Structure 1
Amino acid sequence: MNKEETFIKDLVVLTPDVFEDARGYFFEGYNKNKFSALGIAIDFVQDNQSFSQRGTLRGLHYQNPPYAQTKLVRVLQGEIMDVAVDLRKDSPTYGQHFGIKLTAENKKQLLVPQGFAHGFSVLSETAVVLYKCDQFYNKASEGGIRFDDPTLNIDWGMELKKAIVSEKDLVLPDFANCNSEF
């Protein structure tokens, strides 16, 4: 497993060691011991999986303490633009975001720590996304930020006027008015 630091502290990209032969390939997407050796000590408690069509935009979502979540995001089929926004008020990168294309082919994963909002757009015909969480979902602590916030100015890799967005995500507040407790 290769760990690549991003310009935002604690936000990392992980690329697994892939073993290929005539049958296909094999890799460990998560191995607690190997993650610990990389300095990542997380106990995941829940897996979530989504299926979406091209143009879908999910997010930006987070959970406030004490139910804040670390997420390990991976694409099983297709391609997404995966984005994390730093909500930690004492961070030098507060309000900045990082985006990366995650695909079934590149097998990269984004480790999104507690204190970040997360979202993704679907760039392929369809996409299946798996993400592991270290806290259970808690409706009372959920929060979010509009995907098209002008302050954040995120490049989702798609035309936002045509985005397929849930009613819930359409009414999220902008960055300046979000209820983040980080």
Structure 2
Amino acid sequence: MKQKYSITVADMELNIISDASPDEVENIVGMLDRRMRDINLKSPRCTKNEAAILCALAYCSERMAMQEAFKKVEKDAFRFSAENEKLKKTIETLQEEVDNLRKDASVMRSILDHAAAANAPAKEEKPKYVPKPFNKKAEEEPQISVFEESATAAEAIAEAAPEKEAPVVVEEKTSQKSTSKNRVGAMFDFLTFSDV
């Protein structure tokens, strides 16, 4: 509803008719008054009419810039809404695929469970491996061989297995020189320097 207002801008009293509320009219009048006073402070030779025209030009240029920015934002919003719709459709198709995969997985799980249940009695029917018991004599009487530092390898082998006949080591004399050379340690009694 249109109302009549009396306003004062740059010490000029004006009567206007507007649809705006009194608070909106006061805000607009305050902005216009400050802008005209700023113009008069920057150029004191400027008249009030010229200041009003300059103020109107400034507001018009700001309005045009805002309209261009609004158009750009509106285009971006339209583009983003189109992309948003595409993404919503993609999400719906992906959700359907996930649901189908979950159904397939549940079917596969049930098939595997049935197969496992069918194979369970067959596994129970198979004879289990039962290891043979050890010889009690071997458990009761472990045979331990004791090695002495002076014992030769042939004597150590003979002491390790007393139940069997001790192997006889026959040393053949290849030459007279091999017997005259020194032997190194009990572990190497079969090897001589000539053999190496």
* TM-score, normalisation: structure 1: 0.16
Q: Which has the higher helix share?
A: 2
Whichever of the two has the greater Rg, that structure is: 2
Q: Which has the higher strand share?
A: 1
* TM-score, normalisation: structure 2: 0.15
| Structure of higher RCO (CA pairs closer than 8 Å, 6+ residues apart) | 1
